Amino acid sequence: MQKKQLGNSDLNITSLGFGAWAIGGAGWEFSWGPQDDKKSIEAIHRALELGINWIDTAAVYGCGHSEEVVAKALNEWRDEKPYIFTKCVLRWDNNGKVFQNYKPESLSQECEDSLRRLNTDVIDLYQLHWPPDKNEALIDGAWEMMARLKDEGKVRWIGVSNFNIEQMKRALKINPITSLQPPYSLINRNIEAEILPFCKEQNIGVIVYSPMASGLLTGAMTRERIENLSAEDWRLRWEEFKEPKITKNLGLAEKLKKIGKTHNATAGEIAISWTLKHPAVTGAIVGARSAAQVDGVMNVRSFKLDEDEVNELEAHFS
């Protein structure tokens, strides 16, 4: 599998990484619904068998449970261990309600908690999960703490997630940024005009999340399946899963399936390939909840979308 250097780091990552959001399971505000840990571990192992060399998780996924499942999967994995990326800033209460805590001492404690749950001595990439809700001046103290955690050897590299350019510029005055993690898909192209060129110019690696728009572009999503999602599934609150957008989104998935037949690939693989064609994108985070799902979207194939195919896909919403 193709590898690229992640920003200013010494990490050479595969074009795809395993996303561990959904395997956090139920019981928290942004859950994907109940999840079988055994299937999660099988999914991680299958991704590693296919050559993927990094896993992206976060403390908040499942209120710590995702990190614990990742640790269990890697404890059972006997071959070369992948890089571990995780995130901080988002914390939770006893009811699974998520809130931000940007205090430097909170980030330090979060790091210790993640190291414990992940059963590791060092985190390869530690990321601020979201920018501050209101007071952007909070970035200063938080980024200083992130740099300190790096200096202390608890994390190897530090990055940000969901930051805009001004927020990244603020952090850059304090310490370099290794990576940005933004959403990016055919449904959400907001980062193309300014953020991706800025990251390219600043040598900030970009690892995009939701390249298949949280399942909408896998080719397996249907209206019936949406109706049968767990009541806890956060996607039921997302406008892209509701009318009038769902008809257009499922229509795009059909185009992806048609193009996929030309390349002997799934709709999901075509959607992911489209995100990877941008020169500023280092890799894409791909979630899966079973080994079968991994096989449907992480069998990286040596194909390239031609100009007509790209134009057909990009014209869908015009």
Active-site residues: which are they?
61
Return all residues near 48 (Cβ < 8 A) that are at least 6 apart: 18, 77, 79, 82
Cα(239)–Cα(245) distance, rounded to whole angstroms? 7
DSSP 161-183: ES--HHHHHHHHTTS---EEE-B
| Eight-state DSSP code of residue 80 | P
Beta-bridged to residue 98, according to DSSP, are: 92
CB distance 271 to 256 below 8 Å: yes
Return all residues near 237 (Cβ < 8 A) that are at least 6 apart: none
Cα(84)–Cα(77) distance, rounded to whole angstroms? 14
Q: In this structure, are strands 90-92 and 283-287 parallel, antiparallel, or unpaired?
A: unpaired
Cα(182)–Cα(211) distance, rounded to whole angstroms? 10
Cα(145)–Cα(126) distance, rounded to whole angstroms? 11
Neighbouring C-beta atoms of residue 147, cutoff 10 Å:
16
